[in-house]
Amino acid sequence: MKSMRSVVGLLSLAGLLALAACGSGGGEAKNPPPQAQGMAQEVKVDMGDYFYEPSQLTIKAGQVHFVLTNVGKTAHRFAITGNGVKVSSRNVGAGREGTLDVELAPGTYKMGCTLGDHEARGSVGQIVVQ
């Protein structure tokens, strides 16, 4: 019985070490667990000067993984607001790719670039979540 207990102790110690290893690695924003990533629908949006393509999205409710490609010559950002949601990607430099992971409930949301006056210039659109 005693040896059994020490095996369990070792296992949980190994678990803690594995967690610590995960936490210290990277430096990138928190990645969703693999299962959640597998279930997320991927939505691609091109961000340009000054537009989003597409500017009108209709997607399914649930976990969404946005892949944001900056096809412009200046930095852009991808922010979603509406229905109590207010999230944003980091700045995505010209020619770079960014991502945004968010869980969206059915409803209508606004997507837009919150940098400078980009929204007013046209970097804006609508997301309908069904």
Site residues (CB under 5 A) for Cu ion?
76, 113, 115, 118, 123
Closest CA to 27 of 102, 90, 95, 79: 90
Taking the least distance from each CB to Cu ion, the nearer of 63 and 114 is: 114
Closest CA to 51 of 26, 79, 70: 70
Taking the least distance from each CB to Cu ion, the nearer of 102 and 115 is: 115
- For the bound state, the minimum distance from the C-beta of residue 118 to Cu ion, rounded and expressed in Å, comes to 3
- For the bound state, the minimum distance from the C-beta of residue 72 to Cu ion, rounded and expressed in Å, comes to 7
β partners of residue 52:
47
- For the bound state, the minimum distance from the C-beta of residue 119 to Cu ion, rounded and expressed in Å, comes to 8
